Amino acid sequence: MTYILRRLFWLPIVLWAVASLTFLVLRLVPGDPLAQVAVLVLDQAQLDRVRAQWALDQPLWNQYLLFLSNLVRGDLGLSMASGQPLTRLLFEKLPPTIELALVAMVISTVVGVGAGVISAVARRRAVDYSVRTFAILGLSIPWFWVAILLIYVFSVQLRWTPVGGRIGVGVRYETITNFLILDSLITGNWTALVSALRHLTLPALAIGLTSAGFVARLTRSAMLEVLRSDYIRSARAKGLRERTIHYDHALRNAILPVLTLQGLQFGTLLGGAVITELVFAWPGMGRMLLDGILRRDYAVVQGTVIFVAFIYVFMNLIVDLLYRVVDPRLRGR
């Protein structure tokens, strides 16, 4: 309990540091955030009013204090491009990215851990070399190339899946949480559920398969190290079956670094799966962040970065708690 309270104590400090750094970087980068607005106004007086509306005419320190005061109240600001509150934009863009990240993580975990365990158990055999080749390809091939290849094979040639988007054109659904799969299950809309799953398959595979290579390589290395341990030799000396040794003893200890990797990977996917979202026209947070950077939309960039930082810290806390579930030696610390 003390450990959790200590981590929760550092959470607002980390978020304040990230928010302050993001605020300063955005304002120190050359360029006027109202450059796109300037071509739409009629005269300088209108431009000055717009600048005053966003407090851009005030000193930097005053802007910073105003930013912090709004942040403490939970107000992430309004988008300069659309004028909508960032909380509303996050409600629209965050669920698609979370759905994509969760399914991609499930694919990378199942495929990567399974391949890594098989490779370690069958060391220096044909299947081991095949898994190691798959891992190297997963580390080397970029997401967008895999995405384009999947589109060409499954969408263009086989016509099994849609090319892009989140749901089929003309498919009606009721928005409750904005998680299409969950909303479809709640409302019993099976047509929308099937359409959402078909649209989600390729982008999740593009991310999951490339990430699975790294997971497989890490799992294999961890399994080989554990299998050389003294307690594994003792387990064999006691006559335990190899299956029990591999899955009940070795895998439980080898999975710890994989938990760390997947926890960090989830935060990366929330803010960094921009290329995949662009290729598949996926309406997620990565595209919103990229558009905000290109438009110098302060509220969008600041709010998205702060939220992703919160997810990073929160996932690290979850991973640490899972460590204590998997490894009993850490529970007393």
| Co-location of 7 and 64 in the same domain | yes
| Co-location of 54 and 92 in the same domain | no
Which residue do the tokens 């997401």 mark?
A: 143
| Co-location of 179 and 315 in the same domain | yes
Q: Which of 72, 99, 120 is the last residue of a domain?
A: 72
Please indicate, yes or no, if residue 82 is contained in any of the structural domains. no
Q: Answer for the pair 194, 180: CB distance below 8 angstroms, yes or no.
A: no
CATH of the domain at 301: 1.10.3720.10
Q: Please tell me the distance from the alpha carbon of residue 249 to that of residue 240, in angstroms, as a whole number.
A: 11
Please indicate, yes or no, if residue 289 is contained in any of the structural domains. yes
| Co-location of 262 and 297 in the same domain | yes
Please indicate, yes or no, if residue 304 is contained in any of the structural domains. yes
Please indicate, yes or no, if residue 321 is contained in any of the structural domains. yes
| Co-location of 114 and 43 in the same domain | no
Q: Please tell me the distance from the alpha carbon of residue 88 to that of residue 93, in angstroms, as a whole number.
A: 9
Return the closest-CA partner of residue 215 out of 182, 254, 187: 254
| Co-location of 238 and 106 in the same domain | yes
Q: Please tell me the distance from the alpha carbon of residue 302 to that of residue 296, in angstroms, as a whole number.
A: 10
Please indicate, yes or no, if residue 23 is contained in any of the structural domains. yes
| Co-location of 14 and 124 in the same domain | no
Q: Which of 45, 72, 99 is the last residue of a domain?
A: 72
Return the closest-CA partner of residue 81 out of 327, 319, 297: 297
Please indicate, yes or no, if residue 79 is contained in any of the structural domains. no
| Co-location of 95 and 60 in the same domain | no
Count of domains in the chain?
2
Please indicate, yes or no, if residue 83 is contained in any of the structural domains. no
| Co-location of 18 and 149 in the same domain | no
Please tell me the predicted confidence (pLDDT) of residue 116.
92
| Co-location of 136 and 242 in the same domain | yes
Q: Which of 13, 42, 72 is the last residue of a domain?
A: 72
| Co-location of 316 and 240 in the same domain | yes
Please indicate, yes or no, if residue 10 is contained in any of the structural domains. yes
| Co-location of 59 and 94 in the same domain | no
Q: What range defines the domain where residue 101 resides?
A: 88-326
Average pLDDT by consecutive 10-residue portion of the chain (333 residues)?
74 86 85 66 70 80 88 82 84 89 91 92 89 87 85 92 89 90 93 94 90 90 88 83 81 83 77 75 84 83 84 80 70 56
